[in-house]
Amino acid sequence: MRFLFVHGTGVRRARHDVLFARIRDALTARFSGANVSSCYWGDHFGATLSAGGVSVPGLQQTRGAADDLLAVAPRDRQAAEWALLLTDPLCEVRVLAEMGWAAGDGFSMPGVRSAGAEVLELLSGLPPCPEVPDELSQLLHDTGLHGAYPQALTDIAYAPEATRAAGRAEDDASAREFAVAVARGVVAAALAGAGAAADCTGDERDRLVDVLTARLGGDARGVAGRAGAVLGNLALRMTTQPAFNLWRGPLTTKSTPFLGDILRYQARGAVLRDLLYEEITAEPGPTVLIGHSLGGIALVDLLALAAARGEPVPGVELVVTVGSQAPFLYELGALTALAPGEPLPTGFPRWLNIYDRQDLLAFMAEPVFPADPRVTDDEVSSRQPFLPCHSAYWKLDAVYDRIARAVAEIA
């Protein structure tokens, strides 16, 4: 019996040689005298960044960058802070409520009204629907936040955290800091409430904060002060956008072989299928094809296209797909050889599809070809999470045992 292995996405020569040696040894141990070969295609047909990745924003800046999210650009820091505010619009107000101000001991004198209380009174007195041509009203309409603004105003003005923070802001400087925090909270609550209806740039967002801050007695272009300083570093470490921005270049270039091979195959898969046909027909005799991941997609496409032409690939008795996306692409209408609902053509060989349910790149074939006796699924488990389970198949005795049973059934 002849076996031909076709590797999957992201595999290059060094990795291929390790995998193939493992597969060859396992198959020859079960099939005495078996002819086991491999079709290595990674160097010739695998994806590369032909221009060195210059299309990736920020790639040059992140090359050699230290693992320090605190070194990101100011705009990334602002994006992180606002990501945190959108999750919890009261987070900065809550910090001020708990930490107090250096000007006092955190307790107001009996009968003395704090400066922060005046800020809160101004906030609660703002009209929920400012009249046109008021700048605030215009901004709210331009950004799509006019519908969410009234509730945001109420949520912040009457929050217990705001009341507590207002009482601790005893002097004018503390009140100005508090005014910025509540203004940012209102804008964040409006953005969160508007959801997908929001149409707001960073400049518009900042102007909204400035306008609200000024109406609360604070300083235009005010910053969040100590609350922002406390939460800024936390935001950088907890939110994903700064990390994505910092590591987009390295992540993109490192993932190019893995994702790029699939995309390249979808666009220019004919050349790989031609190579597979040459490899399969280079030697006579019954052949078992074993395709991992993208290798399985290419084999299913090749065999189905050939059978549909009335010219089945000669010698192929069984195709084994392992951790393959072919069934999923079929459902999506993205499988080259077959449209959704179209049956496997006459002349297509028996198909054993092996999958691990922890493998997010593995899919079941039987449910999408329910009436076809040629198609069989078999589940295995490496007890590994994704991504390690996608490569762990080749160390599982169950994979080779199932192939051996399938071969025995066609003998």
CB neighbours of residue 314 within 10 Å: 12
pLDDT bracket for residue 47 (50, 70, 90): low
DSSP state of 351: E
Which residue type is seen at 93?
Answer: V
Domains of the chain listed by start with CATH number: 2-46+269-410 (3.40.50.1820), 77-244 (no CATH)
Task: Summarize pLDDT for 371-411 with one digit per residue, the tens.
Answer: 899 999 999 999 888 777 888 899 999 999 999 999 999 87
Query: Which range is least confidently modeled, 111-120, 143-152, 265-274?
Result: 111-120
Instruction: Judge whether 106 and 100 are in contact, CB under 8 Å.
Output: yes
- Which pLDDT belongs to residue 154? 97
212's CB contacts (< 8 A; 6+ apart) are: 126, 136, 183, 186, 187
CA–CA distance, 84 with 257 (Å, rounded to integer): 34
Task: Summarize pLDDT for 21-38 with one digit per residue, the tens.
Answer: 999 999 999 998 899 999
More confident site: 384 or 75: 384
- Which pLDDT belongs to residue 233? 54
Residue with tokens 């990101």: 72
pTM, two decimals, is 0.59
Task: Summarize pLDDT for 287-307 with one digit per residue, the tens.
Answer: 999 999 999 999 999 999 999
Task: Summarize pLDDT for 191-248 with one digit per residue, the tens.
Answer: 999 987 888 888 899 999 999 999 999 875 545 566 665 565 555 444 444 445 544 4
